[in-house]
Amino acid sequence: MGAAVQQSSDGGRRRGRRRGRAQPMAEINVTPFVDVMLVLLIIFMVAAPLMTVGVPVELPKTAASALPGDQEEPLTVTLTLAGEVQIMTTPVSRADLVGKLRAIAAERSSDRVFLRADGGLPYEQVMKVMGALNAGGFSNVGLVTDIGGPELADPATAGQ
């Protein structure tokens, strides 16, 4: 078994480059780089919300008391379609409303009250009760509604 040596056709002289050898690439192949970057993007998109959910922190102990709104149950005043006024679940006459509200405001540390009114009531009746709430010492009035009601249409496009 012998090794064969192939003679070049140019008589053993080397001119120029060899034809049998591959040329080096002068371009950068960015496909693997793009693949890695897409995988890292997906990993960070999935992991970022998980990092902000909850961070365990041991809070310092202080002598300060808790915020007053967190301990009290919110006060609710309800107006029914029949014209009845209720504070929480207790019916109250309209004449006694301001006096009862002042007594409740003296015992509470929060001036927050939620007003629930039937949608069929006239605007005037709701405003009178809101005035009574203000006179009774509750200036932070929140109106309670249900979600999913009709949307207010744009007047310019309503006729089209």
Q: Which helix (H) or strand (E) covers residue 157, if one does?
A: helix 155-158
| For residue 38, pLDDT beyond 90 | yes
Predicted local confidence at residue 34, as pLDDT: 94
Domain residue limits at 106: 75-145
Can you tell me the distance from the alpha carbon of 135 to that of 129, in angstroms, rounded to the nearest whole number?
A: 10
The CATH number of residue 129's host domain is 3.30.420.270
Structural domain includes residue 159: no
Structural domain includes residue 158: no
Mean pLDDT of 21-27: 78
Structural domain includes residue 42: no
Q: Which residue has the higher pLDDT, 21 or 150?
A: 21
| For residue 145, pLDDT beyond 50 | yes
Predicted local confidence at residue 22, as pLDDT: 78
Predicted local confidence at residue 36, as pLDDT: 95
Q: Which residues contact 101 (CB under 8 A, 6 or more apart)?
A: 87, 132, 133, 135, 136, 137, 138
Structural domain includes residue 13: no
Q: pLDDT tens for residues 52-106? A: 544 454 455 556 554 454 566 778 888 887 888 888 888 888 888 889 989 988 8
Structural domain includes residue 99: yes
Predicted local confidence at residue 3, as pLDDT: 56
Count of the separate structural domains present in the chain: 1
Q: What pTM did the predictor assign?
A: 0.50
Predicted local confidence at residue 52, as pLDDT: 57
